[in-house]
Chains A and B, each alone.
Chain A
Amino acid sequence: MTVTLHHYLILASVLFCIGLLGALSRRNAIVVLFSVEIMLNAANLNFIAFWRFGNNPELLHGPLFTLFTIAVAAAEVALGLALVIAVYRHFRSVDLESLNTLKEE
């Protein structure tokens, strides 16, 4: 048995859904944030796997894309955490359930 693209894809989707589950079910904003990171990483895994097993690897599309994603993710984390801190200052909480000012009433 060899490791094929399939394995990686399934692994990536599993990781993605774990991340999603975290994002959808936890009430702490910070946890939601790193759930998002998990999802991003799952996507990165897909990129690399496709590059490794796909056609035209010499074009380096996969690694490049991953690199860019990582950069964007870094930016996103920085901003997201900053926002979390700002929110915390305002509401004295990072609980998503208490952040309901979008509501109509």
Chain B
Amino acid sequence: MNEVTAFWILAAIAVIGALFAIRKRNLVHGVFSLLVFFAGLAGLFLLLLAEFIAVVQILVYAGAVGILILFAIMLTDRVTGKDAFRVTSRGSFWGTIIAASVFLVLLLPTIQEIPQVDNPSNSEEIVKQSTVKALGKKLIHPYVITLEILALLLTAALIGAVTAAQGGHPAKKKISIE
């Protein structure tokens, strides 16, 4: 299986996964297709010789985020959305139009100006050398501050999430859905 074939297959998996994820009425199904999308993307990363990122992608997204979302769905009502007669919001047509135009705006420059791209084989050697070790060094030497800040951010997010989810004050007035 050569590279091109792999690319197409993986791209197809990712696109289909993403589409299903946003179109599925059943949220649990949606999450599973999201996982498929994540996996496809990880495959693409592998294809781009970024093994470490691919692994992280699997671990964080497929592992953690997916599970998290599943839990969130379990904790809220109408998980499957069976009784929701309408999945899309009001005026979703305009949303679709806008999304399409964003796509155009993004696509146009990509198609118009063919970027001057090096032959990937030229830099392939260097790319292959950039192992996890090099990445680790980089994280320690110039980006240590960023790393620390990220750590802080995650901690803060953790605390914030706990606090927010805990609620504390029970709802004073309950608004029923229409």
Contacts and interface: CB of A to CB of B under 8 A. Distances in A.
Chains A, B in direct contact (C-beta < 8 Å) = yes
Contacts of A5: 115, 117
Contacts, number: 260
Given A83-B164, A88-B77, A92-B176, A49 B157 contact: no
B117 A70 contact: no
A72 B122 CA distance: 32
Contacts of A64: 135, 138-139, 143
Interface residues of A, number: 79
Interface residues of B, number: 94
Interface of B: 3-4, 7, 11, 14-15, 18-19, 21-22, 27, 30-31, 34, 37-38, 41, 44-45, 47-50, 52-53, 56-57, 60-61, 64-65, 68-69, 71-73, 75-77, 81, 84, 86-90, 92, 95-96, 98-100, 102-103, 106-107, 110-111, 114-115, 117-118, 120, 123, 126-127, 129-130, 134-135, 138-139, 143, 146, 150, 153-154, 156-158, 160-165, 167, 170-171, 174-178
